[in-house]
Amino acid sequence: MKKFPVLRLLIAAVVYLALFVLGASSGMIHPACYAYCGTVLPLLFAFVYLYAAANLQGFGAAVILNGFVLIIGLIAGEGNLPLIVGMVVFAALAELLRKMSGYHTKKGVRLSFLPLAFSFYAYSAHWWTDTEGTLAAALEEMPAGYADRMLPVIENTPGLVIALVLVIPVALVGMKLAEIVLKKQAARLK
């Protein structure tokens, strides 16, 4: 019986969480960075997911990653309905696709990464699902004028649509790069 790689998966989950924190912190530069960094983060998420999936060639890699972020987010008071629903749905879709495509295959990892790549948008979705509450929180927590800079970003629906569409090619490129860099992990998959 093969040992469950607890330490490796914990390391992957911590790195994955750190990428979420990095993405959330990007809002200090400008609200658009926070709103749209979910399009770029899959370049980095791919490395973590390939590592986790190569070490856990069965059910659970996506659930562990999104579940860890969700639990820490809830403990930290960052949990809201879009985050909970998004993280659960994206992890479930990833696990389903990986099961259907093969736990031991690169194809399974590549396909299952596509829904998982949208996970940061579950975190930032409150901007669009609770705009009033988000702006009120920004007035309390952020520097003066931040909420005024947020509103045009939130109202830029075409920008959001483009950013969401771009997640797919960015995720594919990210996974290709991850397979090149993490040759040892990629070699564990058929």
Mean pLDDT (the chain, rounded): 93
The pLDDT tens digits of the residues spanning 83-104 come to 999 999 999 999 999 999 999 9
The pLDDT tens digits of the residues spanning 33-71 come to 999 999 999 999 999 999 999 999 999 999 999 999 999
pLDDT above 80 (res 1):
no
- The three-state secondary structure class of 188 is coil
Residue 11 confidence (pLDDT): 96
Task: From residue 172, give the alpha-carbon distance in Å to each of 42, 71, 92, 169.
Answer: 9, 27, 19, 5
pLDDT above 80 (res 151):
yes
Helix axes 81-101, 61-75, angle to 10 degrees: 170
How many CA atoms are closer than 13 Å to the CA of 176, on its beta-carbon side? 6
Residue carrying the six token digits 């800079």: 149
Q: Which of 57-71, 130-144, 148-162 has the lowest mean pLDDT?
A: 130-144
Residue 4 confidence (pLDDT): 81
Question: Residue 144 contacts by C-beta under 8 Å, 6 or more apart in sequence?
Answer: none
Number of neighbours of residue 111 by Cβ within 10 angstroms: 19
Question: Residue 56 contacts by C-beta under 8 Å, 6 or more apart in sequence?
Answer: 4, 5, 9, 64
Burial class (CB in 10 A: 0-12, 13-18, 19+), 155: exposed
% pLDDT > 70, the chain: 99
Q: Which of 29, 141, 161 is nearest to 78 (CA)?
A: 141
Region 156-169 average pLDDT: 95
Q: Residue 65 is inside which H or E element, if any?
A: helix 61-75
Return the CA Rg of the chain.
Answer: 17
Q: Which two tokens stand for residue 81?
A: 């309905």
pTM score of the predicted model: 0.91
